[in-house]
Amino acid sequence: MTVGRGATIFGCAGPQLLPEERAFYRDADPFGFIVFARNIEDPAQLRRLTSDLREAVGRDAPVLVDQEGGRVQRLRSPHWREWTPPLDTVDGAGSVEAAERIMRLRAMVMAAELAVVGIDADCIPTLDVVRPETHPFLMNRCYGRDPETVARIGRAVAEGLMAGGVLPVMKHMPGHGLSHVDTHHDLPTVDASHEELTAVDFAPFRALADLPMAMTAHLVFAALDGGRPATQSEVMIRVIREEIGFKGLLMSDDLNMQALSGTLAERTARTIAAGVDIALHCKGDMAEMVEVAGAAGVMAPDAFVRAGAALAARRVATVDVEAALAGLAHG
């Protein structure tokens, strides 16, 4: 299986691929694509779109989505199941063991729904540890209030997705739980010590460092690099690679978030220079994609190898959806 050379993942503008998008993707050859609610109408349309995206680059490029459950869920009723927010599900399970089972089963069903429409990567598990100061935008998207619980639920979610033929993308590395602002609008600074971060925030990612793909966080860790958000910090990328031990494919969070400063070209260049493998641009705006593609360039040799390994981790689905649904119905 070949891997795209562009160090990018792009969105597209709407529910059908436009001729100018098709031509751009053919030339830019992004590693993969990501879809949002604006791209989704019904299963037949979404299958056509994911097929057209892959056809545009002439290979089996990965197509990602944010399908967490709760507020962040791109595929919704009436064509797809609605899911409760993850933290609500975990809290309501009664025990960590029960939560592991429920979250694994629901990830299996999610994966089955995604795979049938040509989506083969989901941007979960969310491994941020909830703290009292965690911003409400993030809080109920998380899996727990201590690193052990988060790691156990995160592992169950990853296993459920992979059983359904969908790759997990863990986020927001190396930990977003101490963020008290929404990174879509502001850049947060975390003042916790390196020791606290290692013991709590980094711990779930360290436990799941064998997963194939991960997404960075747009926040400053003052104890380690007070000047740059993790996405653009060589120091924090070294923490991710060496202290946490993640060897897989590392992509940025969306470069359009206002936590980052500068032009899109500057944001992209800083991200790639820091050691992130793939620049993620979600908006689907053609002029912006051209700017990002130019700044990202082609994947570095090590990134190319990691990309191939990530795609090779995809499995043939083995999920019995009816049995999984029956398991969920029994709580």
| Spatial CA neighbour of 119 closest among 128, 106, 110, 129 | 110
| Residue 215 backbone phi and psi in degrees, to 5 | -125, 140
Token pair belonging to 54: 């892959």
Residue in 42, 184, 185, 320 annotated catalytic: 184
Tokens 């100061």 belong to residue: 133
Is 184 noted as a catalytic residue in this protein? yes
Three-class SS state of 291: helix
- Reduced to 3 states (helix: H, G, I; strand: E, B; else coil), residue 220 is strand
The burial of 77, by beta-carbon neighbours within 10 Å (0-12 exposed, 13-18 middle, 19 or more buried), is given as: exposed
Compute the C-alpha angle 118/313/73, nearest 5°: 45
Sign of CA dihedral 186, 187, 192, 198: positive
**210 is known as an active-site residue:** no
Task: Indicate which residue of 29, 120, 128, 253 is catalytic.
Answer: 253
**How many other CB atoms are there within 10 angstroms of residue 2's CB atom?**
11
**Where are the alpha helices (H) located in 169-285, listed in sequence order?**
194-196, 203-207, 234-238, 264-274
Q: Which residues are part of the catalytic machinery?
A: 184, 253
